[in-house]
Structure 1
């Protein structure tokens, strides 16, 4: 049986790996776009050339925004305190409810540890905002379902 700290540590590692993988994909996409832009520059001029170049510029801007979001997540991850136990849900808390288990961290989705599914959710996510500040025994309604907090670790 894993300790709470081991579970939280595994969940945090899953979040870090997710951000790292997404970061690498976006960097690769940006490199590909830059290469395509350079190829477009070498191509002949004309409307088709300008349209292709404009679309690549938009792709580059979008990838740049994704990269900034991922860099923000990379700065947030080390601040997630998994060692301090509190009686209320906050960043780094493991919250058990009658409708699932939640790790308040970043939006990553479901992670299975030892046959138990945990949902990694951000404080800004709708469910994260509902969980924030809740204590054991608190109730809230989310997506027309009544949730009860059964424990916070």
Structure 2
């Protein structure tokens, strides 16, 4: 069985990889969109050309927003101290409850360490906001479900 700090490092690494993988995809899509914009040639149907360029511009703006969100997630990850365990739930905490296990970091979905499932959640999500500041023994109600915080590390 791994120590709490070893588990925290593994969860952090999974969140970091999640972020890096998404970043590679978005950067590749931005590059493809930029190439498409520069190679878009004027056709005999001028309106069709303008519509194509407008669609590519919209796609580029959407990708820019995704890139900004990923940069925020990287900034959040940079604030996590994997060598510290806190009593109160905060950024970087591992939270074991009677319902699920959580890693307070970024919204990375289902994570797994040693066959134990954790959910990577942002402290800005509704459940994340509920958990922040709580300690072992606290009872939390979310979506009409009550659960108890059993362990914080």
What is the TM-score of this pair, normalised by structure 2?
A: 0.95
Separation (CA, whole Å) in 2 of partners of 1:86 and 1:74: 22
What's the counterpart of residue 30 of structure 2? 30
Are 1:116 and 2:116 counterparts? yes
In structure 1, stretches of 5+ residues that fail to align are none
TM superposition shift of 1:15: 0.4
Are 1:73 and 2:73 counterparts? yes
Q: Deviations over 1:20-75 (max 9, x none)?
A: 010010000001101111121x2326111111110100000000111111112112
Separation (CA, whole Å) in 2 of partners of 1:80 and 1:142: 25
TM superposition shift of 1:135: 0.8
1:3-152 maps to which residues of 2 (within 5 A)?
A: 3-40=3-40, 42-44=41-43, 46-152=46-152
In structure 2, stretches of 5+ residues that fail to align are none
SS at match of 1:29: helix
What stretches of structure 1 move > 3 A for 4+ residues in a row? none
SS at match of 1:96: strand
What is the TM-score of this pair, normalised by structure 1?
A: 0.95
The answer to whether the 8 A contact 2:5-2:84 is kept is no
TM superposition shift of 1:88: 0.9
Separation (CA, whole Å) in 2 of partners of 1:144 and 1:82: 32
